[in-house]
Structure 1
Amino acid sequence: MALQAHLVELERKHKILESELHEALLHLSTDDMEIVELKRRKLMVKDEIERLRQAAEDTVH
């Protein structure tokens, strides 16, 4: 179940980044580069989640 625990941790990180991005977008003083970086990190985590889910699915089938 190590894979499942890793997925849970990645999903937690994704939610944190989503919250940070939301907060950054609410504040007009937030630097555009900071927003870009948050979006990039969030997408990287999402891609990793999808990659792991696909790998888990492939091993089951």
Structure 2
Amino acid sequence: MTVANARKGRGYSQQEFADLAGVGRRFLSELENGKPTAEIGKVLQVLTALGIDMQLKVR
């Protein structure tokens, strides 16, 4: 599930959700559009606000 789908499924606009997650709307937009570089702390804020866990695995 993508961040955008999860956000939309909860009925939030980008601005509403960015405010809730404590990030900027521009950051959220770039994250949803697959920006290859993003500040990990902010990514974790967004995922936490959506109730999404992130798992890391060794390649």
Fold match by TM threshold 0.5: no
Q: Which has the higher contact order (CA 8 A, sep 6+)?
A: 1
**What TM-score, normalized to structure 2?**
0.30
Whose radius of gyration is greater, 1 or 2? 1
**What TM-score, normalized to structure 1?**
0.29
